[in-house]
A and B are shown apart, each in its own frame.
Chain A
């Protein structure tokens, strides 16, 4: 396949970026999208040009490192697919492909397609855990968890923290990310003691960072490679409202 690529190039966080055009003549349908970029980068290096920087690591859709906006879609055209698992067979010979970094105020560009997503760690730090020190756990079977809750908790827990939800949201909101963790932990009996404060604190942190507010657009769920349910956001709102009504303290 022959492809024309238009890729966002930005040398540093302060530098001005622009779309740059490249052509590739020998793309094979079984290549992954990132392997296609590898081929481009090998060519660029041999031409003494700076290769395109992009985050990637496991290349099997679970670490959440990779992510780029492909033809206007976060992670590209395939549903439930991270960029690293997207294969070139979903494109056609002669296509022009636009490749951009996540665009969100809370995710400043580091270089080219690499962005800084440390704001996600800040949100988790503010309450996305169950406070149990090592060694203090009761026997695992002491607290049964009904299967439905366990399965729903799992579905929310599959979030890989890639940031596609934020990139797709017109408000640049991280609501789905925050809600996924609040839902995962809030559905389990182990998560109950901190349920109210967790929801309040994580939401407050999200608001303090550069994320926008949620207006229930739903674009986040559409692009989520793990299909985190939109209902998680309702769960978060429910927990925050409940916490507010019962006067849970956020400290």
Chain B
């Protein structure tokens, strides 16, 4: 880790807020991207990556945690190459990873429409969409690899939408003006994940991949500075087990469930990433979270999760609120001239297709100004009346039928007759474990892919880019860079009774015992709800110094209360879903604090991170490139110790930072 930092670059801290709550450490000097023109970097890296003799590969073992697009694809591909892979997921089958729920589509710069798309344009759009807070090298590689992803998935039998010619159909998607999004009705994530899952099952059958479903990683084993294994809990029988390997890859997803209510699956959690962080991996940009503009609003206190409606709906749906405050008429009774199509009004160039952060904030502003509709005034309309008139009901049905059905099932309202009500919800987290160009974390031998890393989306992810990044990391990047690392393997065998292994197992056991022995008065969910509300209020769509400081003062006491007063029935020696939840919530209670601290120290607005103190006159996010054009990578230094901030300066040689404008 030491060669990564360059103390001589040390600068005076620019941020003053949060001072005293953290320490500024050495900046990160090198992300290890090749030093060639941007279009050549990935080709150069692939060529410089060392190879492993096929005969030696089966002697080398790799652990992959998570079986979503990144993890499933990486495990399958490394298995195909002949490595001995151990794959883990907490679900009962690798096919259920939350990538399955992605609806809209996957971007690729195929330019099949001949509408001016190119690798460079996808690169440009992604850097701009990320509000100039991502790393150019990584994003360019992502755009290049996007071409291979579509080829690979089609060959696997992913049933993408097609035209009558038999060729692939594409559509335009939030934040872009070209049609580069490939899709499989409203279930693109499902179809891509099943492709990866099937490739994975094929390798399980071939004996290269050993599958461990219903097994949750609870700690990382670091031996002599290298990641060498994981501690897991078998969710069937509660057994704490250790698994050792030459390298560990985390593809364990994002941390959106810190908010309790999110579009994530109920089991999605930060535990694997957070434990790696506590073992030495830096955590980057935790305050960059994405709020998706088109979700079904909350209906009551019992609400357990939020459901997303694909933003492809914004291609044909028009967003509006009543011009009059508190207008509670039936939407169909509100005449045209009394409706405010505020996105079309404020952003004439992009209209309803502005990027997610902008659409979400605009909805919040409308609701704050008391133009919101539905329970609590927390909703805006998404109206398909014009689309149905223009295209006819069958065409709308073909495009969005399953989404309309889903909406009706949940709300009881028919969107063909009444406009949908939507409200923003937490959907994706751009922050994650810090990785270099090779997706290596700061712990040698620990790689991080997919949503679990921070790498490609900057401060805001564009629609249809998550699937692209997951598969890019899994199918194409990790297999190359992990092989390069394994060229030095196999490493010395780690005995099961190695002190580092024993220590990790013991601390995991102690933690579980502590949770079970609290025997307090509050359920795990009640703590999770309270934490979620606090983080949503203070570190959600709009953040302020005052609010963040309030959250930072409250979180440690809530955490203390949790450990003292949580109530879990049952034991650790069997199937115990309350215990599973408690383990995850305990980590969210720690992550939340770092999120708020990161948000407090970043005294600028960028992408999904909106600081009320930093906005333009007309309420748009105001970046501060002079002081904050860096990745904030946080180092864990111990319980209740101040974290250390390492900055990775972002350089823009190909896309010049500008104030984003979608007007």
- Inside 8 A of B91's CB, which chain A residues have their CB? 57, 63, 65
Q: Which residues of A contact B201 (CB under 8 A)?
A: 121, 124-125, 128-129
Q: Does residue A95 face the partner (Cβ distance < 8 Å to B)?
A: no
Please provide the chain A residues from 113 to 155 with a CB less than 8 Å away from any CB of chain B in the complex.
114, 116-118, 120-121, 124-126, 128-141, 143-147, 150-151, 153-154
CA distance A59 to B236 in the complex (A): 22
* B93 close to A (CB within 8 Å): yes
Number of A-B contacts (CB under 8 A): 219
Residue pair A144, B166 in contact (C-beta under 8 Å): yes
Query: Are B300 and A30 touching (Cβ within 8 A)?
Result: yes
Q: Are B168 and A141 in contact (CB under 8 A)?
A: yes
8 contacting pairs across A/B (C-beta < 8 A) = A58-B96, A60-B406, A61-B409, A63-B98, A129-B198, A132-B155, A140-B110, A157-B184
Interface centre among A126, A139, A191 (most CB of B within 10 A): A139
Stretch at the interface among A46-54, A97-105, A233-241: A46-54
Cα(A138)–Cα(B479), bound, Å: 20
For B202, list chain A residues within 8 Å (CB): 125, 129, 131
Check: B160 CB closer than 8 A to any chain A CB: yes
Does chain A have a CB within 8 A of B205?
yes
Q: A61: which of B194, B406, B523 is its contact (CB, 8 Å)?
A: B406
Q: Quick one: which of B50-99 are within 8 Å of A by CB?
A: 73, 76-77, 80, 91-96, 98
B43 adjacent to chain A (CB < 8 Å):
no
Q: A140-B168, A151-B162 are in contact. List 18 more A-B contacts (CB 8 A).
A: A32-B410, A35-B303, A38-B304, A58-B265, A60-B305, A60-B308, A62-B187, A80-B405, A89-B412, A130-B157, A132-B152, A132-B156, A137-B148, A144-B166, A147-B162, A154-B191, A157-B184, A190-B154
Q: Does A93 reach chain B (CB closer than 8 Å)? A: no
**Cβ contacts under 8 Å, A78 to chain B:** 409
Pick the contact of B156 from A49, A61, A129 — CB < 8 Å?
A129
Interface assignment of A232: CB less than 8 Å from any CB of chain B: no
What residues of chain A lie closer than 8 Å to B405, measured between beta carbons? Answer: 80
Q: What separation, in Å, do the CA atoms of A60 and B155 have in the docked complex?
A: 28
Q: Which of B113-121, B435-443, B568-576 contacts A (4 or more CB under 8 A)?
A: B568-576
Residue of A nearest to B299 (CB): A30
A140 touches B154 (CB 8 A): yes
- Near B by CB (< 8 A), chain A positions 139-190 give 139-141, 143-147, 150-151, 153-154, 157-158, 160-161, 184-185, 188, 190
Q: Which of B162, B409, B568 contacts A145 (CB 8 A)?
A: B162
> What size tier do the contact residues of chain A reach?
35 or more
- Asked if B168 and A114 make an inter-chain contact with CB atoms under 8 angstroms apart, the answer reads no
A145 and B166 contact, CB distance less than 8 A:
yes
Known interface pairs A60-B101, A126-B205, A150-B162; A161-B93 also in contact (CB < 8 Å) = yes
CB-CB nearest in chain A for B304? A35
Closest to B475 in A: A134
B166 touches A146 (CB 8 A): yes
Query: Measured between C-beta atoms, what is the minimum distance from A11 to chain B in Å?
Result: 8
- Residues in A whose Cβ lies below 8 Å from that of B415: none
Residues on A with beta carbons closer than 8 Å to the beta carbon of B164: 147
**B21 at the A interface (CB under 8 A):** no
B34 → A minimal CB distance (Å): 20
Chain B residue numbers with a CB within 8 Å of A221 are none
Knowing A118-B213, A147-B166, the reply to whether A134 touches B73 (Cβ < 8 A) is yes
Taking a contact as CB atoms under 8 Å apart, the answer to whether A38 and B155 are in contact is no
| B567 is an interface residue with CB less than 8 A from chain A | yes
**Residue among B156, B157, B300 facing the most chain A CB atoms (10 A cut-off):** B157
A135–B653 Cα gap in the complex (Å)? Answer: 30
Which residue of A35, A117, A185 contacts B92 across the interface (Cβ within 8 Å)?
A117
For A150, what are the chain B residues with a Cβ–Cβ distance below 8 Å?
159-162, 166
Given contacts A58-B101, A147-B166, is CB(A134)–CB(B92) below 8 Å? Answer: no
Give the CA-CA distance A197 to B591 in the complex, in Å: 50
Distance in Å: Cβ of B231 to nearest Cβ of chain A: 22
Q: Are A38 and B98 in contact (CB under 8 A)?
A: no
**B327 within 8 A of partner (CB):** no
Counting from the closest, the 8 A-B pairs by CB-CB distance are A144-B166, A137-B155, A129-B198, A154-B159, A137-B151, A57-B265, A134-B77, A140-B154
A6 on interface, CB distance cutoff 8 Å: no
- The answer to whether A81 touches B409 (Cβ under 8 A) is yes
Question: Which residues on A sit within 8 Å (CB–CB) of B263?
Answer: 60
Q: Which of the residues B73, B95, B152, B213 comes within 8 Å of A64, measured between beta carbons?
A: B95
- 0 or 1 for each of B257-298: is its CB under 8 Å from A? (1 = yes): 000000101110000000000000000000000000000000
B344 to chain A, nearest CB (A): 29
Dominant SS at the A interface?
A: loop
Is there an interface contact between B167 and A190, defined as CB atoms closer than 8 Å?
Answer: no
A206 at the interface (CB under 8 A from B): no
A230: chain B residues at CB < 8 Å are none
**Chain A residues with CB under 8 A of B161:** 150, 154
Residues of A within 8 A of B160 (CB): 150
Chain B: which residue is nearest A28 at the CB level? Answer: B300
A34 within 8 A of B: yes
B342 at the binding interface (Cβ < 8 Å): no
Complex Cα spacing A58 to B101, Å: 7
Report A121 CB to chain B, min CB distance, Å. Answer: 5
Task: Give the shortest distance, in Å, between B573 (CB) and chain A (any CB).
Answer: 10
Contact call B159/A157, Cβ cutoff below 8 A: yes
A110 CB-CB contact with B under 8 Å? yes
Tell me whether B634 is interfacial, beta carbon within 8 Å. Answer: no
Given A48-B569, A150-B159, verify A110-B236 contact (CB < 8 Å). yes
Contact between B159 and A63 (Cβ–Cβ < 8 Å)? no
Chain B proximity mask over A207-243: 1 for CB below 8 Å, otherwise 0: 0000000000000000000000000000000000000
User: Which among A129, A134, A144, A160 is the interface contact of B167 at CB below 8 angstroms?
Assistant: A144
A31 interfacial contact with B, CB 8 Å: yes
Task: Give, as a whole number of angstroms, the nearest-CB distance from A5 to chain B.
Answer: 16
What separation, in Å, do the CA atoms of A185 and B195 have in the docked complex? 11
- Name the distance in Å between B564's Cβ and chain A's nearest Cβ: 17
With the chains together, A114 CA to B307 CA distance in Å?
24
B150 to A, closest residue via Cβ: A140
Q: Within the assembled complex, what's the spacing in Å between the Cα atoms of A57 and B205?
A: 26
Contact between B167 and A45, CB atoms less than 8 A apart = no
CB of B23 to closest CB in A, whole Å: 39
Is A12 close to B, CB under 8 A?
yes
Q: Is B240 an interface residue (CB 8 A)?
A: no
A44 is an interface residue with CB less than 8 A from chain B: yes
Residue B197 is within 8 A (CB to CB) of chain A in the complex: yes
A111 in contact (CB, < 8 A): yes
Q: Is A204 an interface residue (CB 8 A)?
A: no
Point out which of B204, B523, B567 has the most chain A C-beta atoms below 10 A from its C-beta: B523
> Does B583 count as interface, using CB distance less than 8 angstroms?
no
Query: How far is it, in angstroms, between the C-alpha of A130 and the C-alpha of B156 when the chains are bound?
Result: 5
How many Å lie between the Cα of A118 and that of B112 in the bound state? 40
Contact B578 A63 (CB under 8 A): no
Asked whether B163 is an interface residue with its Cβ less than 8 Å from the other chain, the reply is yes
Residues of A near B330 (CB, < 8 A) are none
Residue pair A128, B95 in contact (C-beta under 8 Å): no
CA gap between A39 and B304 in the complex, in Å: 10
Bound complex: CA A31 to CA B185 (Å):
28
Q: How far is the CB of A45 from chain B (nearest CB, A)?
A: 5
**Minimum distance in angstroms from A223 CB to a CB of chain B:** 16
In the docked arrangement, what's the CA distance between A231 and B168, Å? Answer: 26
Judge whether B409 and A87 touch: CB under 8 Å.
yes
Known: A60-B307, A125-B205, A188-B159. A140 touches B151 (CB 8 A): yes
Q: Is B165 an interface residue (CB 8 A)?
A: yes
By the criterion CB–CB under 8 Å, are A121 and B575 in contact? Answer: no
Residue in B closest to A55 when the chains form the complex, CB atoms: B92
Instruction: State whether A65 and B92 are in contact (beta carbons under 8 Å apart), knowing that A32-B304, A141-B112 are contacts in the complex.
Output: yes
- Residues on the A chain within 8 Å of B346, using CB: none
B265 touches A53 (CB 8 A): no
Quick check: A190 and B155 within 8 Å, CB to CB? yes
Complex Cα gap A22–B300 (Å)? 23
Q: Is B637 an interface residue (CB 8 A)?
A: no
